[in-house]
Structure 1
Amino acid sequence: MELVFGLEMMEVDRSRNIYTLIKKLNLRGNEGPSEEGGLPKSGFLMVLLGIIFMKGNHAPGEEVWEFLSVLGVYTGRKHCIFGEPRKLITKDLVQKKYLKYRQVPNGDPPHYEFLWGPRACVEINKMKVLEVLAKIHDTVPTSFPVLHAEALRDQVERAGLRGTARAPTMAEASAPSRAKSYSSSHI
């Protein structure tokens, strides 16, 4: 359930066998990449982002479709959960900006590649994707040393960006502000 839907089952009450489903992937927006009234497809997105991450952050379309066929997801064949995968991937996830799908320059014959979209870059960190990849391979993230190092760099960069975004706010808060006293007189 976690890999396909991004859900995890947690035990709430052991004595009465009560469980709850928890959204494992916290994407912004309306359930991230899900269809109206359908099941969340966050886990499927994480698998796609994992393929792209493993291929150096840009994955040839042929290799993505080949990998998905191993999972029983075929282009042109409606899947019971995902619907038509080509539409889901190249239209829906691209339109929601989770993926980029572009023609490779100077390709003869023309071929396409997948990249992380701008929304995925903001909402999803590489360590989370690496954890999903590790689960697929029944191992731990450090089993992929190059990817693990890149995921750690991604975490440091994200922490640095958050730190610089907070720094001016903290400095402004510690300094006396005329605007603050001015606005308080107008409340």
Structure 2
Amino acid sequence: MALTFDLFGTLVDIDYPIDPAEAVARELESRDVTVPDDWHVAYGEVHVDAPEGAEIPLPAHVAHALASRDVEVSDNVARHAVVAAFDPDVTLRAGAREAVRAAGDRGPVGILSNCSVPELVPRTLIRSDLRGEFDAVTTSIGCGWRKPDRRAFEAAAEALDASLEDLTHVGDEPAVDGGIEALGGRFIDVTETPLTDLPTRLEARR
């Protein structure tokens, strides 16, 4: 059995900015970027015509939002501003480490996380002391697709050398993480099965 965990809201809690557009604006201004007066409007608009299910990296969205108001920035400036705006405090959820290790005792274990912010997933794993606990880490910004798109789950399964039918995904959003069930895999909802109970549930399935 191969098993993947969602990260945010499942294994860890992080302090997302209350107003992401404002947080990004502050970081842009600190890098001498003139932020347009209607930045919140621009930030909320769609600027990249992407296929359904595709991940749009947040720095690309920010750069396009600025360009729509005739403000040009380099890719590096947009990236550094976004990374700084989403620099989180991280709290490991109760039972997380034990659940990950119990899964690892039964087969390959990985992360499958929707995340459009560069560096956020590895930084979160370091700060939660979970780095090194996984055989593979798959992110939407890395593979290009967001759960529940089939291609996101396929990327995670491939990284663990497993089939979709052999994959169990643990997460907190049935409409997103539960997409694995339509592909023949299994979903464990941590809002119904807490991480502290996961080792027992996995043991029962051996």
If the length of structure 2 is used for normalisation, what is the TM-score? 0.22
By percentage of residues, which structure has more helix? 1
Q: Quick one: higher RCO (CA 8 Å, sep 6+), 1 or 2?
A: 2
